[in-house]
Structure 1
Amino acid sequence: MSRILLLLCLSLLLPACEQADKPQATATSYLTLNSPDTHNVLSVALEEGLLSYKVQHKKQAVLNKSALGFAFKGEHSKLGELALIKTETASFDQNWQQVWGEKQNVRDHYNKLSLHMQEREKPHRKLIVEFRAYDDGVALRYIYPQQGQSSLVIMDELTEFNLATDGTAWWIPAYQDNRYEYLTTESLVSTLDKVHTPLTIKSDSGLYLSIHEANLVDFASMVLERGKGTSLKADLVPWADGDRVKTDGSFSSPWRSIQIAEKPGDLISSQLILNLNEPNKLADTSWIKPHKYLGIWWGMHIGKYTFWESPTQGATNENAFAYIDYCVKLGINHLLIEGWNKGWTPAWYENAMHMFSFTEEAEGFDLQKVAEYAEAQGVNLIGYHETGSNITNYLKQIDDGMAMYQALGIHDIKIGQVGSRLNMKEWHHSQFGVRYYRDVLKKAAQYKLAVNFHEPIKDTGERRTYPNMMTREGARGQEYNAWSEGNPPSHTATIPFTRMLAGPMDFTPGILDVGISQGHEGRDVHTTAAKQLALYVVLYSPVQMLADLPENYYGNPAFQFLQDVPVDWQDTLVLNAEIGHYITTVRKDRNSEDWYLGSITNEQAREFTINLDFLPEGKKYQAQIYADAPGISWTENAEGVAISEQEVYSRDSLALKLAPGGGTAIRFKAL
């Protein structure tokens, strides 16, 4: 049940919540907004017509005085001295349910303050700034109402995050050709340059922070640039012509969010980003199904197959039928086939305006026949559109391509945007890119297609509004282990606290042939096999690939965990964590009484004692344990998995031993 209560004016040095037709000159005004539990306090000041804010957590400074505002193109580039003309305060408390997710039921509980302001002098422009205080963080956004302008161009955003102390930051660089696909760097905030969000920080005061944005719609995405000391400022990703945001004379900015936690695992448990998005807009979601899938994909990355037409082409009728048969044998009901269409060449990944067709099949592949065979076997095909970042070409064909999938009964699509710039011109995360990705997502919903974006715009919680936005890449995934120096063991112990605070990731785990025996010489996945299993619990996605060649699963006892592990959860808890070092996560299946545990480490071996008090009291479970075999590491005998079972209750505990680069996966089966 929701309740929205207008509250009495916040008790401050502000004249009582007055409204006026004209701006009134007043003394300096201060307002304070508390979270429902009163731990987070956001204070706003209007001094000499300039707006600023600061944040505290339990009386401990998080942000010192930080500027707010914008700079525009043309005359009157900056807002003049502002006067407060009205304040609005409210409290909101509502429970809502995710169509799918890491937690079924979400509480949206916050206190809100809106400031209505206007310039004292001409042109008397109006601006609304809305603040929210949650128990897990704070957020703000700008609303610039229509004021008779046919267009308005934003050239800069002045929002600051002036951190009260230095601290350790985990970050990837902004404005790089490979988008978000970089290894995380750990360094002091005071050494940063320009970085992407989410930016995760452990402050010297001991608090854990994540600065990000939510509900990014028709706006440039925000990166952060450091000013003096530990002061960070919003930097809007530009169009090729230098403009940051093009508007019709009005705009609502994304939410600028700061998650605040006392433990790193609490950042993962936070629902702040989702709660800052609009409710579900899709009346019918019955066609949106979380799932696991096989794919004609890993074989291309390791060099067994090619994406393009060749003697070793991956997408052939023969291979497709064989993979469908594997889906049946392995109990996996979805299959992705990449490279089925015309346009693939050996240079497909290079920066160029590649001309893919989204309806014409490659030689040796008959989509209709493959779809008919898959349907007869109870296997669902996943469509694939690789645009090569030639957006002009894609949008000319998008309706035909998606309509063809719909006619074949396909409800899932992976869409790639390989390339350093969209149309070889615009950043993926500029307003151009933001518009493109949102338009494609809405178009997919029209054709009842659930989306997995690769080379995406970053996640800002839009899955709440459009639950067909299932998952995306947006970081270095498993494929880097196939053809590069690979991801170090610390990578997967880091991204749950960085990239994945934004939302689900299609990391593509599940390589049990950890030495990649059929792949490029000297390559491996830099984990043990047990860690590959544990990643299905630690790295959340409602769409999880079983990425290995299917012959590596057939007859492998460890594959049982991959058959069993769900992808849609009722609840999620983080039992222990240290960013970049280790994490242990448990999740409860939405469709049974079973729980699942994943525990992973970096290059260091670790031992944990895990209390099982997350299980219901008095109920008996069978713990099906998949652990690193004794004496192994990610560099030696990494394929060894020790499988055991024991009966447990909530009063019990389990000892976990993680090998270097290793992990443990456990199914707690209700008895």
Structure 2
Amino acid sequence: MNMIRTILFGLFLCVASQVFAQHLASPDGNLELLFRLDNGIPTYQLAYKNKTVIATSRLGLEMEEASLTGGFLQKDVRNSSFDETWTPVWGEYASIRNQYNEMLVTLTQENEYKRVLLLRFRLFNDGLGFRYELPEQETINYLIVKDEYTEFNLTGNHKTFCIPGDYDTNEFAYTTAPLSEIKEVMEKRLCKKGYESKATSFTVQTPLMMKSSDGLYINIHEAALVDYSGMLLNVDDKDFRLSSHLTPDKLGKKGYLQLPCRTPWRTVIVSDDARDILASQLILNLNEPCRLEDTSWIKPQKFIGVWWEMFTGEGRTWAYSDYNKAKPGVTDYTAITPNGRHAANTAHVKEYIDFAAENGIDAVLVEGWNEGWEDWASYRKDRQFLFTKPYPDFDVEELHHYAASKGVRIIMHHETSANAADYERQLEKAFQYMVDNGYNSVKTGYVGYVIPRSEYHSSQWMNNHYIHVVERAAAYKIMVDSHEAVRPTGLCRTFPNWLAQESARGGEFESMGGNDPDHTTILPFTRLKGGPMDYTPGIFETRLSYYKGDKMKEQVGTTLVKQLALYLTMPSPIQMAADKPSNYRRFMDAFQFIKDVPVDWADSYYLEAEPGDYITVARKAKGREEWFIGAITDENARTAVIPFDYLPKGKKFIATIYEDGKDADWNANPQSYNIRRITVTNKSILKQRLAPGGGVAISLKEVTGKILNK
């Protein structure tokens, strides 16, 4: 290895006709990158423990004003190493190690234009990140992106976990199939959201999870998506080639750049152990450090909300009236007859506040509080919602004082109906209104087709919009939970007030045909690699026939206990107890786990994992000697083997086990469960049965007195 590094540092120049190679190894030596300039075309390869992960794949950018895809000479190569440990504001770990070896390649086109392109590669122990950089130069300044020629050429017909590529939504069910079969399978199981914009070629979304026939787990995504278009992956299912597909605007433009600039990082996480994929912090490490000087106001939290009852078919609505010609800020709502089904009313919200206060829940989300819901998804109105105008039956001031007296916060809801342009016009007044009325968190929504009408949810303008909202929110000390936005790329490190996003098919789909039992065993390997998700777990009553009668055909994809385990397997600093208080009162002994489980962690240990099949994880609470364990499975029952060797030596712990009942089943009997207690030490091993579509949730508290085993 020393000889390779000596040669690498000594080689800097080549001619375009040569095949010229540069090597880079990860700090532990398991990953090796090979960069070649092949007849002037930049290419790379990636290997893990001598197994090829990415075969020779080309690199390059095509601009309308300049082609940066070939004709290059290698001007310079600079290698460096970096190793630090940084402290996140919240997350799965109290500290994160950021260690990598870097290679910066300078390429020039030796023609009249003298264009310069930099390629920066960072090789971590868990994967690769690389990006394009364009420094200031004399012959080009403003550029319009025509295409990006980044390839990820695979070595075979890998097992793939994916959703269709779409410019406007990520809320699809996952397909598990060999790469050669995913197109047919995805089209058969497509469940539409209502505002899809299918990509112009056969594409899949990132993060893309794959498993090779020789046992490698491979995850492809991007990091630090700033001032650029979101990336899908073109799929060649015959030759097993993937390539970047940038989301255009509706004029067909894929980005507007001004030098100096850089693209997001393209990422490849790889291991022969699926647990390493879940534990990887590579995406966060490739993002810039926190930009906020003061983060003391950022508080992870659990919340309940006036939300689920609008999905269950009980007749509750977001809208105050049935008058569909209402114009926010113009119509006198006090003169309009209310429909009697409006859930966001003062008395009802107080009931939620009372329940939160009684059970130690931090906050209450209220949807449908403000003017505009009568015809909200029209895509025709220049102004849909007003974010400082409550409906007549929602008393903001009274609820502010009532919640404060109970030690509970109210979470603001800003559904924009994807009218991002108008949201930006109202943003400062909306955030000031929140501050004036005691709100410190907002759930934003972007349901529908985007306004400006030339944009998609993942195009460059919208990606900049999401960041703008988070930056302005930080100025008002407001935390953000965004829904229907572009899928995350680790920007929560830079902006830790961006607590979570939806950007995938979440728990609400239990009211829309259900999520398959394997869905939540895939999401941590895919969607969650970019950042936390507001999945809305904790739904105890998933059988909608409970509300609508036996006439409804339904499918439930989870047991009640699995809903508890999701608080561990799908970590987020903002977690919803998504069901209605009335349902929690029916199962208060099980609800105790939701009351106890933290949302911020000091350490995490992934104990078992296989994408699409099962996940078992143990986490230590931040700031106290308590541990929690969650395990989930797909439609197949299994026995989870749970060690406790991460516990402190010489100490005993009470393990309260929330387990599936003997007759529990994800579809036939989802609410069967049992609660028992045992004593464990760091030498204990628990073999725990998980029902089909089920799980287990365990809380561990140090023994301080007499223990009762039962």
Give the TM-score range, shorter chain. over 0.9
Aligned partner of 1:230 among 240, 257, 263: 240
- 1:648/1:183 Cα in 2 relative to 1: closer, same or farther (>3 Å)? same
**Structure 2 contact 54–155 (Cα < 8 Å) conserved:** yes
- Secondary structure, in 3 states, of the residue corresponding to 1:553? helix
1:11 and 2:5 correspond = yes
Higher mean displacement: 552-561 or 587-596: 552-561
Could you give the per-residue CA deviations for residues 254-312 of structure 1, whole angstroms, max 9, x where no partner exists? 00000001121210100100000011110011110001001000111113320000211
What is the CA–CA distance in structure 2 between the aligned matches of 1:513 and 1:558, rounded to whole Å?
A: 13
Q: Report the Cα distance in structure 2 between the residues aligned to 1:489 and 1:14, rounded to whole angstroms.
A: 50
Q: Is the 8 A contact 2:17 2:38 kept in 1?
A: no
User: Where does 1:162-561 land on structure 2 (aligned, <5 Å)?
Assistant: 162-175=153-166, 179-191=169-181, 193-227=202-236, 229-304=239-314, 305-309=316-320, 310-345=339-374, 347-349=375-377, 351-353=379-381, 355-482=384-511, 484-516=512-544, 517-518=546-547, 521-523=552-554, 525-554=556-585, 556-561=588-593
Partners of 2:470 and 2:362 lie apart in 1 by 24
- Counterpart of 1:598 in structure 2 is 630
Q: Displacement of 1:444 after TM fit?
A: 0.8
Contact map agreement 2:130 2:266 (CA 8 A) in 1: yes
Cα pair 2:148 2:244 within 8 Å, conserved: yes
What per-residue deviation string (whole Å, max 9, x for no partner) do you get for residues 620-670 of structure 1?
000001001111212233212201111111111112111111111000112
Q: Is there any run of 5+ residues in structure 1 with no aligned partner, and where?
A: 1-6
Residues 1:72 and 2:63 aligned together? yes
Q: Structure 1 vs Structure 2: percent identity of aligned residues?
A: 38
CA distance in 1, matches of 2:64, 2:584: 58
Distance 1:544 1:28, change over 3 A: same
d(CA) in 1 for partners of 2:9, 2:693: 60
Structure 2 runs not aligned, ≥5 long: 183-201, 321-338, 704-710
- On the 8 A contact 1:511/1:525 being kept in 2, the answer is no
Query: Is the Cα contact below 8 Å between 2:60 and 2:70 reproduced in 1?
Result: no
Quick check: 458-467 or 322-331, which moved more? 322-331
Mean CA deviation greater in 401-410 or 215-224: 401-410
- Equivalent residue number for residue 54 of structure 2: 63
- Maintained 8 Å contact 2:87/2:94: yes
The answer to whether the Cα contact below 8 Å between 1:334 and 1:381 also exists between their aligned partners in 2 is yes
- Aligned: 1:632 with 2:664: yes
Contact 2:365 2:410 in 1 (8 A): yes
Query: Per-residue deviation at 1:191?
Result: 4.3
Distance 1:431 1:79, change over 3 A: same
1: distance between equivalents of 2:143 and 2:301? 44
Whole-angstrom CA distance in 1 between matches of 2:292 and 2:583: 39
Would you say how many aligned residue pairs link Structure 1 and Structure 2?
658
**Please, what is the CA RMSD of the aligned residues?**
1.9
1:136 matched to which residue of 2? Answer: 126
Task: After superposition, give the CA deviation of every residue in 1:294-347 in whole Å (9 maximum; x if it has no partner).
Answer: 1000111113320000211011011111111111122212111111100012x4
**Residues 128-165 of structure 1: CA distance to partner in whole angstroms, max 9, x if unpaired?**
10001110001111101122434111100001001122
Structure 1's 15 and 279: CA in aligned 2 closer, same or farther, altered over 3 A? Answer: closer
Contact 1:533 1:562 in 2 (8 A): yes
Match of 1:28 in 2: 19
In structure 1, the residue corresponding to 2:470 is in which secondary structure?
helix
CA distance in 2, matches of 1:641, 1:565: 18
**Counterpart selection for 1:572 from 586, 598, 604:** 604
8 A Cα contact 1:422 1:428, kept in partner: no
After TM superposition, give the deviation of residue 10 of structure 1 in Å: 5.5
Shift of 1:77: 3.4
- 8 Å CA contact 1:481–1:523 kept in 2: the answer is no
Secondary structure of the 2:562 match is: helix
Per-residue Cα deviation, 1:180-213 (whole angstroms, up to 9, x for no partner): 0000111222445301100001012210000000
From the superposition, tell whether residues 12 and 349 of structure 1 become closer, same or farther in structure 2 (CA, over 3 Å): farther
Task: Give the 3 Å change call, closer, same or farther, for CA 557–73 of structure 1 in structure 2.
Answer: same
Distance 1:319-1:9 versus aligned 2 partners, 3 A rule: farther
Which residue identity lines up with residue 697 of structure 2 in the other structure? A
After superposition, the C-alpha distances for 1:212-271 in whole angstroms (9 at most, x for unaligned) are 000110001111002351111111110111111101243200000000011212101001
SS in 2 for 1:554: helix
**Mapped partners of 1:99, 1:598: distance in 2:** 23
Q: CA deviation at 1:522?
A: 3.9
Q: Distance in 2 between matches of 1:613 and 1:374?
A: 43
**Which of 621, 624, 631 is the aligned partner of 1:589?**
621
- Measure the CA separation in 1 of the matches of 2:351 and 2:678: 37
d(CA) in 2 for partners of 1:610, 1:79: 51
- TM, length-normalised to structure 2: 0.90
